[in-house]
C-alpha cells in the first residue's frame, strides 16, 4: 500500500511527490496497480489484491480526505474502469474524461460545468486499474471508452501510458513544489475550472477538423506480444 500518490502531498515538499512512480509501477510485468477514488473503490482494491494470489498488487491512495462518489461501484471497479457519470441524452457523448484517485471528483465537477455552461455532454470514467481494464472483453472496453469520441485523461502524475486511452492528457511533467494541496492542484492545472476549459478545447479542436476523431480502439495490436 502506497500513500504518497501525487503532488497533493504538498506540505512535505517535492521529494515526497512521486510524479513518476505510478507509470514506473504500471510498466512492471505482471504488476497490478490500483489507484482508488473513494471507499468503494478501495474495497475493490483490497478484493483485487486478495484475488491476485500469483502476482503482486500495489494499492495507491491519497493521504487526504476523499468524499464518496455518488455513483462509484465496488463491483464495477473490479473491471478496471467504468463510468461514474454518464452523459445526458441519447447517442455518444461529446467528451470522455478518464481519471483516477482524487482527480475523479474534480472531473465530475468539470463535467457538470461543461454541461451547464456549454451543453457539452460529458462522460466521466474512473479507471482505478489499467491492467484489469485491458483484460476485459472488447465489447466492454468499447462500452466504457468509445474510442472515436474526444477523450482526455486527468491524473496528477506523469502522463506517459495514458496515450493508449486518450487523445489528450492533463498530467505532471516536472517535480512538484511545497505548498497546500489545493494550491498545488490549481497551479498544476487540476482545478475543475481548468479541466473543463481543456475539455472544451479538445472538443473544439476536433470540431474544427470536421469531427474526425481518431478511434483509439482501432490500432494494430500484433506488435504487442502480450496475449
Output 187 or 49, whichever has higher pLDDT: 49
Res 5 pLDDT > 70: no
- For residues 15 and 26, give the distance between their C-alpha atoms in angstroms, rounded to a whole number: 21
Output 224 or 137, whichever has higher pLDDT: 137
Q: Does pTM surpass 0.85? A: yes
Q: Write the CATH number for 182.
A: 3.40.50.920
User: Tell me, what's the pLDDT at 13?
Assistant: 59
Q: pLDDT digits over 194-221, tens only?
A: 999 999 999 999 999 998 999 998 877 6
Residue 224 covered by a domain: no
Residue 20 covered by a domain: yes
Residue 22 covered by a domain: yes
Residue 124 grid cell:
466521466
Res 68 pLDDT > 90: no
Helices (H) then strands (E): counts for the chain: 8, 7
Are the C-beta atoms of residues 107 and 54 closer than 8 Å to each other? no
User: Tell me, what's the pLDDT at 139?
Assistant: 95
User: Tell me, what's the pLDDT at 50?
Assistant: 96
- For residues 199 and 132, give the distance between their C-alpha atoms in angstroms, rounded to a whole number: 26
Domain that holds residue 154: 10-208
Residue 44 covered by a domain: yes
Beta bridge partners of 169: 153
User: Tell me, what's the pLDDT at 175?
Assistant: 73
Residue 195 covered by a domain: yes
The residues, any chain, with a CB within 8 Å of residue 134's CB and separated by 6 or more, are: 80, 141
What's the mean per-residue pLDDT of the chain?
A: 88
User: Please, how many CA atoms are within 13 Å of residue 139, restricted to the half-sphere of its CB?
Assistant: 0
Res 56 pLDDT > 60: yes
What is the domain count for the chain? 1
Q: pLDDT digits over 115-124, tens only?
A: 999 999 999 9
pLDDT band at 16 (very low <50, low <70, confident <90, very high): low
- How open is the CA angle 204-205-207, to the nearest 5 degrees? 60
Res 223 pLDDT > 60: no
Residue 226 covered by a domain: no
Amino acid at each position: 500500500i502506497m500513500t504518497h500518490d501525487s503532488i497533493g502531498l504538498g506540505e512535505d515538499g517535492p521529494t515526497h511527490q512521486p510524479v513518476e512512480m505510478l507509470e514506473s509501477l504500471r510498466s512492471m510485468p505482471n504488476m497490478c496497480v490500483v489507484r482508488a477514488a473513494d471507499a468503494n473503490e478501495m474495497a475493490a482494491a483490497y478484493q483485487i489484491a486478495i484475488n491476485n494470489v500469483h502476482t503482486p498488487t500495489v494499492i495507491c491512495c491519497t493521504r487526504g480526505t476523499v468524499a464518496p462518489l455518488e455513483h462509484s461501484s465496488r463491483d464495477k471497479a473490479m473491471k478496471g474502469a467504468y463510468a461514474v457519470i454518464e452523459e445526458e441524452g441519447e447517442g455518444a457523448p461529446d467528451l470522455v474524461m478518464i481519471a483516477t484517485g482524487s482527480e475523479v471528483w474534480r472531473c465530475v465537477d468539470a463535467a457538470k460545468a461543461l454541461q451547464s455552461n456549454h451543453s457539452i455532454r460529458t462522460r466521466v470514467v474512473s479507471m482505478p486499474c489499467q491492467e484489469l481494464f485491458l483484460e476485459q472483453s472488447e465489447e466492454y472496453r468499447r462500452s466504457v471508452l468509445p474510442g472515436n469520441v474526444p477523450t482526455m485523461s486527468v491524473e496528477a502524475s506523469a502522463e506517459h501510458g495514458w496515450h493508449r486511452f486518450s487523445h489528450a492528457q492533463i498530467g505532471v511533467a516536472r517535480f512538484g513544489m511545497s505548498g497546500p494541496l489545493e494550491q498545488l492542484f490549481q497551479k498544476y492545472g487540476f482545478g475543475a475550472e481548468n479541466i473543463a476549459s481543456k475539455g472544451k478545447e479538445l472538443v473544439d479542436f476536433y470540431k474544427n477538423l470536421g469531427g474526425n476523431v481518431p478511434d483509439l480502439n482501432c490500432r494494430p495490436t500484433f506488435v504487442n506480444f502480450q496475449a
